Structures are given as structure tokens and as C-alpha cells.
Structure 1
Amino acid sequence: MTTKKHLFISANAELLARWTQAFPTAVGITAADLPKHEQVDFVWLRLQNPAEGIAAPQQINAVREHIGGAALIVLSDMPNDDDAMQAFSSAARAYCNSHAAAEVLQQVAVVVEQGGLWIGESLMSRLLVGINQVTPSVTQTEANTKASAPDSTKWQDKLTEREIEVAAAIAAGASNKEVARQLAITERTVKAHVSGLFTKLNVQDRLQLALKIRGMSS
């Protein structure tokens, strides 16, 4: 298996040490050195503080010009939905906290490599609420009714009753913590169900899951 090449753009040596825990062969450079660097598979851009004089969109677009077909992942010390929207509108594939643990960064890379998007819970909830406003919601009762139909060939056929409950809650925009509270289960159990849902329904992220169960994705 070919090792993927990861390039981190940041002048912060302490953060680079954290990032190389996730990807030992990763290289760190400053934005000024990017035009001279060889092509890689993943480019991780740590946004500078806007107080330093360069707004997030300008930083992202400046990097976008030089990375070819590499997947762009945007990192922020203080993640917020507005910067996330700017990142995704500039074709970023993920947006996450610069200080995320090594295992989280590895999960981000896996999701992106599989064709998914890594979107924070806050922004994901906003997107799902928007979807709910223009498409019929899927309640747990409706999901169970469809799943029990003899001729059903819907997504529910592949899931257990509990997984259907979790899927319906996620599609409504609930976070893992909110799903756990609604269903009186632990967050760890919710995470296990979410992982199972992604595998069974062949989706890479919560947005794809929501679109799938609303019939907006095959």
C-alpha cells in the first residue's frame, strides 16, 4: 500500500510535532514555501489569526492555487461556522480544530480519502436543519413502519430498530450527545451505531447519511 503524502502549512513547530504523531512522514512548511514544494496527497492549512491581516478566504484561495489535485483540509485554532463555510466553498474537503488529537486527524484523512467531507457538529447541524426545512422529516415511527413493509427495499431493510432510531435522530440534526440523551444510551454506543450506519448504508459522513434516508442520494 502506497503511503500517502501529507503537507502541513504552518509556522508553529509545536503543532507540527502533534501532527506528525498522526502522520510520521508529514512535512511542515510555511505558505511562502508552498510554490516550491512537490505535489502531495493531502494539504493541511492552518489558518492564521485574521488579526494578522489576512482573512480566511484569501489564505485558502492562495493555497488552493498551488496544490493541484491534493485534498485540502483546513485547520483552525478557533473553529467557527463562517470560516468552515468559506473553506468548503473553496473546495476544502475537511475543516477541523488545529489541536485535534492524532487519532482524530487520522479519521479525517480516512473520511476524505473515501470521498467524504469532515464537517464539525455545529455546521453539520445547521446543514441538516436546512435540509429538514425543504424535505419531509423522517420520524422514528415512520422509519419503523416503512422498514416493516413486506415489499420494502428501502435503506431501513439493512438496519436494526435501534440503528433506525439513531439514523432518524442524526438526520434531524442531533449531535452524538443529543442522540445519546434522546435514546437513553451512552455516547460511546451512539458512535458505534454511527460507524455501523456508515458501513451498512455505504456513506462517508452524516450529511450523506441524511441525504440517503431522505431519498436524495442513491
Structure 2
Amino acid sequence: MKESVKKADIAPTGVASIRVVVADDHPVVRFGVKNMLESEPGFQVVGEAEDGDVAITETLELEPDILLLDVQMPRLPGLEALRAIMSKSPRVKIIMLTSTISTQQIIEALQIGARGIVLKDAVAGDLSKSMRAVLSGDYWIGGERVVNLVAALNELMKQAAAAPEKKTYGLTPRELEVVTCIVEGCSNKDVAKQFAISEETVKRHLSNIFDKTGVSTRLELALFAIAHKLVTLDS
């Protein structure tokens, strides 16, 4: 965890900066988000957290203006960390960062107190805009500024009711692609070649997939994926 910056710190210009805590279990994501924010005037990353428990501690201690909180966090999931923070420090504005999220999770996050949802593959274009939106009192949902939360929630609930979403057990899009490869009988080397990643990265994906699905072997994973319709088999 990086050295934290206390609440009284201000930007070099003498104007109070927008103080941010970044909570994500992947160091590369934290590094990338921090560099992105600090390249823009007015933002200052004052703390970092690698799991849900540390996110709560950092937020309550540092009282940032904004917490960027990953949905999928070890030790304590992002939505549970969100709930704990909102009960103790409702002033902080929280934006959920995620690779994938269901409509139901978006509804739950907003009901608990999140001010925005930003997909990680849209961070470069959306992050600073989403932060300025929530700081002005609005919300950020679906890649755009939202003024009327009640109307937005009503629309999300209609979507959720109209199209019940397939349960993915928290698997990211890439992890689902890896699952498909395993069902097709691919080796780690095959998967690595297909997605232009290292075999070590494939092993990390499989470890995460095993944890999320509760299986321990490739065969169990393949059977689990077929039984729970995580993959579509050619007829």
C-alpha cells in the first residue's frame, strides 16, 4: 500500500485538489488509474487499497472526496465494502470500477449509495468525466451523466425484469472466454496462444475461475460450465 496523504494536503497551486482513494486488487490497475488522474490538474491520489477491508480503513481515515472501488475485491467484496463505508462516512462519493457487472448489481450499488459505475475498458474516456459528474451532485451510469436517479433506477429495474441475466458467478468476460477454451479441450499453451498472453497469466485466470466456481480441476470446471450454461455448445 502506498504512503497515504493526509486530509489537509492541497495542490501546489494553493487550490484544494480533488482527493481520491483507489481500491483495486490489481497493482497494475491502481498504477494506471493513479497515473491517469495525476496527469490531469486538480486530482490527487491520497491512498490506495488492495482489498475491501483496507478500502474501508483508508476511506474512513483519509476522508477522500472520491473512492474508486473495484466491485470484485478479495477479503471483502466491493459492494459489502460500499455498504460499510456508506454507513459510517456517507459524505464520500463512491464510483464502482468493474470489468463486468450485471444490471441487478448496478441497481444494488446505487441503492446502497454508489454515485457511479465505470467499466474498466472505458476508464480512459470516462473516469475524469464520471468524477466531475458525481462531484457536481449527479450520477454516472451507462457511460453518461445522470441527473434523475429515481428515473434511472426505474429504467434499470425494467431492464432487469424484461431480460433476466445469465448467472456468471462473477467471472469476467476474459475468464468466460478461458472457460470456453477449457470446455473445448484447450491446454494452457493453446489458451495463451489464442489470446496472446503468457501461460502464467492463463494459470492466474484459472486460479480465479476455480475460486469463483468452487471447482478444483479442469474436468470439474468443464462439467460445471456446461451444467450452468456458462458456454454455448455447438449442436
What is the TM-score with the length of structure 2 in the denominator?
0.46
Higher percent of residues as strand: 2
RCO higher in 1 or 2 (8 Å CA, sep ≥ 6)? 1
What is the TM-score with the length of structure 1 in the denominator?
0.50
